[in-house]
Amino acid sequence: MSDRLAVLPQYLLPKQALTALAGKVAQAQAGGLTTQLIRWFVQRYQVDMHEAANPDIASYPSFNAFFTRPLKAGARPLAQTALVCPVDGAISQCGPIAGEQIFQAKGHHYSATALVGGDAALAAQFQDGAFATLYLSPRDYHRIHMPCAGRLTRMIYVPGALFSVNPTTARGVPGLFARNERVVCVFQSEYGPFVLTLVGATIVGSMATTWHGVINPPRPGLVREWRYDGADAPQLAKGEEMGRFLLGSTVVMLFPKGMLDFNPDWVPARPVRMGEAMSAR
């Protein structure tokens, strides 16, 4: 079966309604029922609870509390490189940006302008730069950390579809990551500007950042933007948590030309862990 045919049912599913329902279930504190759901999920996806700060499944009051669980202290040491991986997951794609075209999968590209919500001036900063797309599976740790120290300058919420973001869908849905709902976070670092984009997906109940909290819902269907200037702009350290997914998804990062020389081990489909070397130096 072709990838396009495999994803056809997603065009027909009521994705918004399913996502809203999943969000309510994930927030519910239903005692034994919640514990049963978490236990099923751990077994179904082979989640490693030994790394969790709290490995006791029965102690989590809601599925969201379990899904966004913190890790034990020291579980993800930071590599001594300029840029580290911000998440646990797998490399969907990474490499150079061709002009402003970002490679999604065989036969599919999308523009940096589309990804950041139509801001051509912002996208132009990453002309001929580099990108990395990292997929978080259900079994992964779902907090997102900083690849390097940075000062937040803007956050842009871009409404969109809620297709799945698994590898099959990436191959079958054109412009997937610039089509789905997303939160674009723009940072300034000692190496230059960079963008860290949280991409929503089917049944991703919400996305949250450490400085703002939950961003969606609400889902007003309009682009929303927050600007951070002066002394009040959030400053985050390398490896510090910056956000989280309430149910899993994908992170897309953009870097300007010359900022990122990839670790040669970084190739598509390779599993990665938060804190490992993303840059070669």
Q: What is the pLDDT of residues 236-256, one digit of tens each?
A: 999 999 999 877 689 999 999
Which among 175, 178, 184, 193 has a CA at the least distance from the CA of 115? 178
pLDDT digits (tens, 9 = 90+) for 156-178: 999 987 676 777 777 877 888 88
- Comparison of pLDDT for 103 and 246, the residue scoring more: 103
- Percent of all residues in the chain with a pLDDT value above 90, rounded to a whole number: 68
The residue from 108, 145, 164, 206 that is catalytic is 145
Residues 186, 135: Cα–Cα separation, whole Å: 20
The residue from 3, 88, 119, 140 that is catalytic is 88
164 given a catalytic annotation:
no
265 given a catalytic annotation:
no
User: How many Cα atoms are found within 13 Å in the side-chain-facing hemisphere of 270?
Assistant: 14
Answer whether residue 7 shows pLDDT above 70. Answer: no
Q: How many CB atoms lie within 10 A of CB 185?
A: 26
88 given a catalytic annotation:
yes
Instruction: Label residues 90-124 b or e (16+ Cβ within 10 Å = b).
Output: bbbbbbebeebebbbbeebbbbbbbbbbebeebbe
Both tokens of 95, joined, read 């490499």
The residue from 62, 189, 206, 249 that is catalytic is 249
Task: Give the type of residue at 240.
Answer: E
pTM attached to this predicted model: 0.90
